[in-house]
Structure formats: C-alpha cells, structure tokens
C-alpha cells in the first residue's frame, strides 16, 4: 500500500461552494499536482534552450474556452474564467457586428 499526502484547503464560508465550484477546484488542484509532479522533464530542457536562444517564455495554468457553432470555432485563454469568457464573447460579438451571422 502506498501512502499519499493530502492537503486540506479551507474555503470561504460565504457563499457556500456549489457542486460545480467543487468540481472546478478539484480539477484545477489535480492539474496543478499533475503538472508539478509529472515524471517527464523534457519541458525543462526546451525551456532552457528557448531562454538560451533569447526567447522570453511565460507559462502557467489558464482557463481555455472553446465555442463551436456548426463549422465555426472560436477559442480563448485567460488567467480567470471571466477573462477567458470575455475574450470569447468579444470575438463572437465582433463577428456578428461585422456582418457575419
């Protein structure tokens, strides 16, 4: 039997988290743990090579929103869910304003 470490994180009392909130938190924490503890280290070599070649590299976890309608596809990333959805909202509204249905 392997032992595992469990981290308890207190959540604000108000407003109480919904089932969707808890699912999002669980998924995000798992993504962070997986990203930090993953076995492969190739990304570190690629990062070092890019920086040595003069690239400024930024990376991190972000929200990714994909909106599809028929053959249309719009997607955006943001540091917050609001930011990602605002970007998708902007792009889809711009298409409508410019005459594309």
CA distance 36 to 42: 13
pLDDT digits (tens, 9 = 90+) for 43-90: 889 999 999 999 999 888 788 999 999 999 999 999 888 999 999 999
Domain ranges of the chain: 18-58, 62-101
Considering the entire predicted model, what is its pTM? 0.55
**pLDDT (0 to 100) of residue 62:** 85
CA distance 59 to 64: 14
């Amino acid at each position: 039997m392997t032992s595992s470490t469990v981290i308890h994180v207190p959540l604000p009392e108000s407003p109480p988290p919904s089932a969707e909130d808890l699912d999002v938190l669980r998924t995000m924490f798992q993504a962070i743990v997986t990203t930090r503890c993953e076995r492969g280290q190739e990304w570190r070599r690629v990062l070092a090579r890019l920086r040595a070649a003069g690239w400024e590299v930024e990376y991190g976890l972000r929200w990714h929103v994909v909106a599809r309608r028929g053959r249309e596809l719009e997607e955006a990333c943001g540091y917050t869910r609001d930011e990602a959805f605002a970007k998708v909202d902007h792009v889809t509204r711009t298409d409508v304003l410019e005459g594309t249905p």
